[in-house]
Amino acid sequence: MNLTINRQQLVTELETLASFSDAPAPAVTRIVFSPVDLNARAYLKSLCGSAGLTVREDPVGNTFARWTGREPNLPAIGTGSHTDAIPFSGRYDGTAGVLGGLEAIRALQRAQLRPRRSIELLIFTAEEPTLFGIGCLGSRLLSGSLRAETARQLKNRDGKTLDEIRSEAGFGDSLDRVRLPPGYYAAFVELHIEQGAILERRSIPLGVVTAIAAPASLRIAIEGEGGHAGAVLMPERRDAFLAAAEIALAVEQAAKSTGAIDTVGTVGVCEVFPGAINSIPSRVRIEIDFRDTDLARRDAALAGIFKNCDELAARRRVTIEREMINADAPIQCSPLVVDALTRACREHGFESLPMVSRAYHDSLFMSQIAPVAMLFIPCRNGVSHRPDEYAAPEDLARGSLVLAQALADLAG
């Protein structure tokens, strides 16, 4: 099979996709169901149509573009990623796997492959948690990890429900129809930028992901007592922000205390009420992202944070309410798909590195309904979720080539 990647086309398509953004270039902001997201979807569907793929969308906006195989009734081989982008991020997170996946399919078409199984490009809705506070919304629903009734309770920060938002965007059918039937995919492979610097530092062009770490996401509401920043003396205070600050430090301490490099904790959201320089904060809401590759270790560290919360609530005379947004389990990837990717790297003469994904991905949830693995390409300085995120054209093309080879192998 003579596989060739049209590098220029892939780069141009990534550039065009990046232009659908609510932030000035090079930053990309593309929140799910926003007008720019809907325009990006229209662009992607037109590309898939031009490649002769059959496109369908489900009620939450997951988009499937299928290249029908010789035996269309067999479970398909899936590939893909997401195209939503967190505020002021870059142009490659997720998109490399969507457009790299599409180019892989076109490369197989150019090589005159007639796959036995269908090969399907899947563009997931809302991998990023920006709008609803929960990541991987589309793949959670597809895999049945999130039930439709629970998803219907999701709201954005203005209190608008998922159903309201998606129906305004033109996705009106019931969420009950999103879940995929058992055996829909025989395998799923996701191409993604590494979002770390291991490949670059070791000068290894490709990573084959063998395990994916999983986050627990928590929302913590602290209620103290407000007052005049000059008049209320320090011993009298019940400052909600100072309690939040202690929790943030407890998160750092808990992440470091496991001694494992794979444990990480972040407080990425902190809303202070009333938010005036001369007013003692009476209410604070923080959101914590805490991750590990080992579930028991992660949960033990979280238990330490909760104990700390109880102690400091009593000491600072504040109330602390905890809401677990999600607590997902890490996964091991499927040897079937890992082997297909490793073989594909070898076949094309590329060294590859087995590695852990510390970022989460839709593959984490797809693993509940199909054998999955991921292919990583380097990104400059390991930078991601920033406007200066960058993947070199040769790395994008190499990823797409190896993906094509693995898809051909899995599709038979």
Q: Which of residues 87-126 bind Mn ion (CB under 5 A)?
A: 93-94
> Is residue 360 a contact residue for ligand GLV (CB under 6 A)?
yes
For residues 58 and 289, which CB has a smaller minimum distance to ligand GLV in the complex?
A: 289
Residues in binding contact with ligand GLV, number by CB under 6 A:
4
Q: Note whether 205 binds Mn ion by CB under 5 A.
A: no
CB of 384 to ligand GLV, least distance (A): 8
Which of the choices Mn ion, ligand GLV, none does residue 94 contact, using the CB cut-off of 5 to 8 A by kind?
Mn ion
Report in angstroms how near the CB of residue 238 gets to ligand GLV at its nearest.
Answer: 34
**Nearest distance, CB of residue 364 and ligand GLV, angstroms:** 9
Q: Residue 93 or 103: which CB sits closer to Mn ion?
A: 93
Nearest distance in Å: CB 289, ligand GLV: 7
The residue among 82 and 398 lying less far from ligand GLV, judged by its C-beta, is: 82
Residue nearest ligand GLV, Cβ-based: 359
Give the separation between CA 74 and CA 333, rounded to whole angstroms. Answer: 22
The tokens for 258 are 């496991």
Count the alpha carbons within 13 Å of 134 in the hemisphere toward its beta carbon: 24
Residue whose CB is less far from ligand GLV, 358 or 398: 358
Question: Is 340 strand, coil or helix?
Answer: helix
- The backbone region for 88, taken as left when phi is positive above 0, alpha when psi lies in -120 to 50, beta otherwise, is left
Cα–Cα dist 409/404, whole Å: 9
80 binds Mn ion (CB under 5 A): no
- Strand ranges inside 199-348, DSSP E: 206-212, 214-223, 227-228, 264-273, 279-280, 283-292, 319-327, 331-332
Report residue 326 CA to chain centroid gap: 14
CB-based contact 295:248 (threshold 8 Å): no
- Any contact of residue 128 with ligand GLV (CB under 6 A)? yes
**CA nearest to 260, candidates 320, 313, 301:** 301
Binding residues for ligand GLV (CB under 6 A): 128, 135, 359-360
Binding residues for Mn ion (CB under 5 A): 93-94
